Amino acid sequence: MTISSLGPQPTLNIESLNCGKIIWTYIERPTPKEVEYLAQNYQFHPLNLDDVVSRVQRPKIDEYDDHLFIVLHFPVFNKANRVTTPSEVDIFISEGYLITVHKSGDLKPLSQFFKECQNDGDTCSRYMSRSSGFLLYHILDRLVNYCFPILNKLLDNTDKIEDLIFARPVPETVREISLLRRDLISFRRIVHPQIPVVEALEREEYTFLKEDQDVYFGDIADHIRKIWDGLEDCKEVVDGLADTSNWLTSHRIQEVMRVLTIVMALIAPATLIASIYGMNIYLPGGHEGGPGKDYMPFVVLGVIMLGIALAMLWFFRRRHWL
């Protein structure tokens, strides 16, 4: 069996590995030069080549007579922004070759797998000696398994926030829940479109793959569904934590308002007496009070205040507030 690494192409960001009858071409961060190389050496559809250099493409699988064009997204956690972002991989696969185009270069399992095959002849023979479909399965298997640590980290953050909510119902908790929910939504957007693509590989018959597709790619599909189920469970937990946090915050506000209401009720009589005796009229018990003094303004003001109180009481009962 012939195993040869062609190494980087001059002036191009392309590496190729030839093992038996299969050639694996690895392209990272493609530019128009790499796309032109593909156009000159392969009969790919121009729209597929445009997809290679375009910014973001939805996951899909395009079938042609002698090859497939597959677009997949895999999650990468951005520590700075605390959010999971998609990393795109474009794949051209036929009976004698497999071409992977990675746009951002942040998928470590893909680059590490290529280096393992490039540096170790036994590894290269084990994965590339059977068929391009067998190699594709192992590439997808490593990339999908790469999702599980990210999912586990998301679940751990959910547990931490659950403890934080009951320990300290403070505004920081709301921020942590918001960040977690944003990360979860982004993760779900990445994983969900992958499911029909992987299921198509499992269900459809592609003769040049030469493998038991329902067995190998069915395993990948099971892993994707397991990740999706984990995200669904996490979503329910996060929604429940958000509701619990809102309830605790509302309860805390009610407790504060209850204390303030009691305080206002205690000082209301003193405030009423102080305001009455602060009026510039003759009052019973005042220093200027005495026989012959005119207390009619005090009586009129008392009647007005009592009328206002009775009118408000009637209004509250009419609105069913009392």
Domain membership flag for residue 277: no
Confidence grade of residue 210 (pLDDT, cut at 50, 70, 90)? low
The mean per-residue pLDDT over the stretch 24-47 comes to 90
Mean of all residue pLDDT scores within the chain: 83
Neighbouring C-beta atoms of residue 321, cutoff 10 Å: 7
For residue 50, the domain's CATH number is 3.30.460.20
Domain membership flag for residue 308: no
Domain membership flag for residue 258: no
What is the three-class DSSP state of 59? coil
Domain membership flag for residue 176: yes
Structure tokens at 225: 């569904």
Domain membership flag for residue 305: no
Domain membership flag for residue 309: no
Q: What is the pLDDT of residue 69?
A: 93
Asked whether the predicted pLDDT for residue 6 surpasses 70, the reply is: no
Domain membership flag for residue 238: yes
> What DSSP state is assigned to residue 209?
G
Report the number of distinct structural domains present in the chain. 1
Structure tokens at 16: 């190729």
Asked whether the predicted pLDDT for residue 1 surpasses 50, the reply is: no
Q: Scan for tokens 């931490």, then name that residue.
A: 160
Q: What is the pLDDT of residue 2?
A: 44
Q: What is the pLDDT of residue 89?
A: 92
How confident is the model over 140-195, as pLDDT tens digits? 999 999 999 999 998 888 888 878 777 766 667 888 888 899 999 999 999 999 99
Domain membership flag for residue 317: no
Are 137 and 126 contacting, i.e. CB atoms less than 8 angstroms apart? no
The residue segments making up the domain with residue 23 are: 3-250
| The model's pTM | 0.76
